[in-house]
Amino acid sequence: MAKSPALLEADHDHRHCVDNALAVATELCQRRGARLTVLRRRVLELVWRSHGPVGAYEILDWLRSEDGRTAAPPTVYRALDFLIEQRLIHRIESLNAFVGCIDPINPHTGQYLICRDCRTVTELDDDGISHAIRRQAQQRGFQIGQQTVEVHGLCENCAGKKPGSEIGRQSAS
């Protein structure tokens, strides 16, 4: 029923995640006739690598420092645009950041649980949520283009760590 694994499990071989994401992306782009160039592939890898939302300028820094590439903002944004078009990554509006898509093969709406402590993003794809939204939209004659559901709060891990688990306060540091 729940078909949405957490984007980040506490302990797992993350290198495997990245490799898998890259392999799926390669296969997918091939099928679609989309060109996953070296740069685009590298940006996808960087988005996945951190296992959390990543900013465009963070990626830019990595490209410059690790790859020795002369890169400017447009370089990164163009690659990100391509990856979003291909649904290989998602943009988190409330963070101005990007995360890898956990299931690029099956198109789905963007629904995220975002932990304000560890910044982990858990992607959902819940029919209940999207149905409820579609119902409201229909009632108003609204034609849905793109859903964005971003829920901020504390993930299970971080909530457990906090005595009392208060919501609405910033972490002590």
Binding site for its own copies (CB under 8 A): 2, 6, 93-94, 111, 113, 115-116, 122, 124, 126, 128-129, 131-133, 135-137, 139-156, 159-160, 165, 167-168
Shortest CB 40 distance to its own copies, Å: 22
| CB nearer to DNA: pick between 74 and 128 | 74
Distances (CA, A) of 171 to 24, 75, 104: 37, 35, 33
Shortest CB 137 distance to its own copies, Å: 6
The one-letter amino acid code at 38 reads: V
| CB nearer to DNA: pick between 40 and 90 | 40
Shortest CB 136 distance to its own copies, Å: 5
Contacts of 166 (CB under 8 A, 6+ apart): none
Contact 104, 24 (CB under 8 A): yes
Which of its own copies, DNA, none sits in contact with 23, Cβ below 5 to 8 A by type?
none
Phi-psi domain of 104 (left: phi exceeds 0; alpha: psi -120 through 50; beta: other): alpha
Which of DNA, its own copies, none sits in contact with 105, Cβ below 5 to 8 A by type?
none
Which of DNA, its own copies, none sits in contact with 131, Cβ below 5 to 8 A by type?
its own copies
Nearest to 52 by CA among 139, 108, 105, 113: 113
Q: Checking DSSP bridges between strand 110-115 and strand 121-124, what pairing results, if any?
A: antiparallel
Shortest CB 67 distance to DNA, Å: 9
| CB nearer to DNA: pick between 72 and 105 | 72
Which residues sit at the interface with DNA, rule CB under 7 A?
34-35, 37-40, 55-58, 69-75, 77-79, 82, 96-97
Structure tokens at 158: 């971080």
Shortest CB 142 distance to DNA, Å: 23
Q: What is the distance between the alpha carbons of residues 81 and 94, in angstroms, rounded to a whole number? A: 17
The enclosing H or E element of 95 equals: none
